[in-house]
Amino acid sequence: MPNWLKDAVFYEIYPQTFKDTNCDGIGDLNGIIEKLDYIKDLGCNALWINPCYDSPFKDAGYDVRDYKKVAPRYGTNEDLYRLFGEAHNRGIHVLLDLVPGHTSEEHAWFQESKKAEKNEYSDRYVWTNCWIQGVAGHPYIGGEAERDGCYMLNFFKCQPALNYGFLNRTESWQLAPDDPACIATREALKDVMRFWLDRGCDGFRVDMADSLVKEDDENKSATGAIWKNIREMLDKDYPEAALVSEWSNPHQSLKSGFHADFYLDHHGNGYNTLIRDNETPGGDHSFLKKDGNGDIMRFLLDYLPKYDNTHKDGYISFITCNHDTPRARRTLDYDELKIAWALFLTLPGVPFIYYGDEIGMRYLDIPTKEGGYTRTGSRTPMQWDSSKNHGFSDADPDILYLPQDPSEDAPTVEAQEKDPASLLNVTKELIALRHKYTDLQADGSFDVIYAEKEQFPFIYKRGNLLIAINPSDSKASAALTEEAYIDKDDKKSTKLTPVYSIGEFKQEDNTLKLQAQSFVVLSLV
């Protein structure tokens, strides 16, 4: 386990829309380098950069044409190497996005695989034996190659599936996961990883990490075996390299070799009930919405089994948002976001902040771009200041990659830096708090002290810190049991000392009283 992950707070950057330095309306690597000091000042000490590889951009870069080449729109390989170095000089680690399940249909491997003549890439992708034979249960394409066969897709039409084999085989064209061709695919992936690790990359966030072996069993054992093999390579040759999965099943992912797994916004799961439970009849019942009348038990009943069964294997990562998820500002106001970020930054695991969430950027209802569809509204250009294009670019506004928030009160870094009570400054305080107390780090203990169905507050312990949160629009209180006063050395504390708070609270005897929309951290020592 890379030791640096314990105190990591990640900042996710969608490179197209972070900072444009060459006036083409698209963000670039030099723009990220230019803003590294901002990221450090925010308190984030790690980056996840969405795909910046060469691509035809039919899926915003998740259709990779060349894994070892930076897309010209972002700069050059040398620019990325320089980004690694400049980040490291500031104590910032950098993860690249790895896309292992598919490539672009324009990738050189696929161009060879399409040929009628047998070659070393013929089985790099999943093909049937005949042009009239489809892939049952999976999307596929036929009639677009010299080769007599149809090829499987992993997602969009532009993304042919790489071949890691089929665990449960029913057709002659389905290869076993240990077939030499499937092993060659795995080794090609490792070669890509080594290429970037040797040049300064600190690891990878892995896209659709559970999608490798087809017709896998319910435990994803064959896909997991591939990642265990890759983890062995990392442990041997790159022990400080981190591997983070887009899987959202820590029982499978962390036991398969990943160091951390995203807790994604899947409808009805624990994370969804906290912040985005707005797709069910009867309104928004998110726990972190002040008038949602939420229920913390809906979160805990999903989260606790996952945490209890996996926290010795790795970390569950909470996200404020990501490039696939509606921004939380869509339904939460600034005060609600402060409480939400307070929760995410004080729970176990490795947290990820999506660019712009620290200032409460809005989700915009705009047309799709590069396969974004409903996700496009969360990918708009960063809003830095009150200058042209909010400081994102000096280009003509008409050529920006995506439009920006047209509201007069569109949030900017510049404005919020001047306001001590702004979401930006509260976010900085919360990140600083996490760095200050080792009990708040990824591997610190976690114990629920008070949580009742459809009741507030929620109180939990991280080591010697007692944390209480009341996101509702009404006062709330809870009696503290003896367990709340026992420190991690099994000694009873005589008092609880406040170390940070949002809103007002009061401790009277053994009762903790919180005003509406409040959060407090108390130390037992």
Give the residue numbers marked as catalytic: 207, 246
For residue 482 the two structure tokens come to 């003896």
Do the bridges between strand 447-450 and strand 458-462 make them parallel or antiparallel, or are there none, so unpaired? antiparallel
CB burial string 10-41: b at 16+ within 10 A, e below? bbbbbbbbbbbbeeebbbbbbbbbebbebbbe
For residue 264 the two structure tokens come to 């994604």
Do the bridges between strand 53-54 and strand 66-70 make them parallel or antiparallel, or are there none, so unpaired? antiparallel
126 CA to centre of own chain: 28
Distance CA(384)–CA(363), nearest Å, equals 16
- Please name which of 415, 486, 481 lies closest in space to residue 451, comparing C-alpha atoms: 481
Q: Are 462 and 440 in contact (CB under 8 A)?
A: yes
157 CA to centre of own chain: 24
Distance CA(374)–CA(60), nearest Å, equals 13
The values of phi and psi at residue 88, to 5°, are: -60, -35
- Count of C-beta atoms within a 10 Å radius of residue 59: 21
